[in-house]
Amino acid sequence: MRTVRIPEDWPATEEQARAVQDELRERVILDEPGPPPGTGHVTGVDVAYDDERDVVAAAAVVLDGASLDVVAEATAVGRVSFPYVPGLLAFRELPTVLAALDALPCPPGLVVCDGYGLAHPRRFGLASHLGVLTGLPTIGVAKSPFTFAYDDPDTPRGSTSALLAGSEEVGRALRTRDGVKPVFVSVGHRVTLANACAHTLALTPEYRLPETTRRADALCRTALRETYSA
């Protein structure tokens, strides 16, 4: 497990953070298809917080895209690097997430974030931010639609509907289990929306949430507990 320091040049104010978003948003690549679903490595990242101690733990879990077996995993723990501000949550998490990814012994391939990419008020959520900083293909798979509107997809697994900001499609509601509440998929970086949905279906053979998210969630919670159990 790595212990992470907040970078010296990390934004300290909302104004600084929004300026970083404005600068980096221009670097998001939307015209690459991304890796084929069911191939290569697929990595889930997630975080867990200890609010009383102002600490965040991040986990990165690499799965084989075909078998969904765990290939590698890594964790990092650090101080929360930014106050809680809706729309700027990536600044709270990214230093530890980047450290966990950096600690992996193998290339992560596609990275799946428990959150948003373009489905973000400023069109630059965690998945987009992480993708631009690392150059990796990234997608966001969220549990809720955030502030966006959608029609309920049809009942069968694989059904989708547009996730809308006005008339703009910023992602899709995707049914990963028959009759179960959908997840909300958005592009992060270097992946198309159709391919992001296909990856999400490949990662949900049994449960509503992707295996990447389920495994990273469990690992970061364990890392947080173990940090203070000794």
- pLDDT tens-place string over residues 168-207: 999 999 999 999 999 999 999 999 999 999 999 999 999 9
Share of the chain above pLDDT 70, in %: 99
- Top pLDDT among 230 and 103 is at 103
Evaluate whether 145 touches 173 at the Cβ level (below 8 Å): yes
Question: Does some domain include residue 21?
Answer: no
Question: Does some domain include residue 151?
Answer: yes
* Interior/surface letters 10-24, b for 16+ CB within 10 angstroms, e for the rest: ebeeeeebbebbeee
- Name the one residue in this structure whose structure tokens are 């270097």: 190
- Name the one residue in this structure whose structure tokens are 């959908």: 182
Flag whether 154 is marked binding.
no
Q: Does 219 score more than 60 pLDDT?
A: yes
The predicted model scores a pTM of 0.95
Q: What is the mean pLDDT of residues 209-215?
A: 98
Question: Does some domain include residue 17?
Answer: no
Chain segment 47-72, per-residue pLDDT in tens: 999 988 899 999 999 999 999 999 99
**pLDDT, position 188:** 98
Q: Does 25 score more than 90 pLDDT?
A: yes
Question: Does some domain include residue 7?
Answer: no
Flag whether 46 is marked binding.
yes
Chain centre distance of CA 28: 15
Question: Does some domain include residue 192?
Answer: yes
Share of the chain above pLDDT 90, in %: 93
Q: Are strands 41-50 and 110-113 parallel, antiparallel or unpaired?
A: parallel
Give the residue numbers spanning the domain of 150: 29-227
**pLDDT, position 6:** 87
Q: What is the mean pLDDT of residues 131-147?
A: 97
**pLDDT, position 229:** 66
**pLDDT, position 26:** 97
Distance CA 55, CA 69 (A): 30
132 φ, ψ to 5°? -65, -40
Question: Does some domain include residue 170?
Answer: yes
pLDDT band at 117 (very low <50, low <70, confident <90, very high): very high
Question: Does some domain include residue 10?
Answer: no
DSSP per residue, the chain: -EEEPPPTTS--SHHHHHHHHHHHHTT---S---SPTTSSEEEEEEEEEETTTTEEEEEEEEEETTT--EEEEEEEEEE--S---TT-THHHHHHHHHHHHHT-SS---EEEESS-SSSSTTS--HHHHHHHHH---EEEEESS-TT-B-PPPPSSTT-EEEEEETTEEEEEEE--STTSPPEEEEEEES--HHHHHHHHHHT-SSSSS-HHHHHHHHHHHHHHHHHHH-
Question: Does some domain include residue 15?
Answer: no
Q: What is the mean pLDDT of residues 213-221?
A: 97
pLDDT band at 230 (very low <50, low <70, confident <90, very high): low
Evaluate whether 161 touches 153 at the Cβ level (below 8 Å): yes
Mean pLDDT, the chain, integer:
96
Q: What is the mean pLDDT of residues 147-175?
A: 97
Q: What is the mean pLDDT of residues 163-172?
A: 97
- Give the domain CATH number at 141: 3.30.2170.10
The total number of structural domains in the chain stands at 1
**pLDDT, position 39:** 95
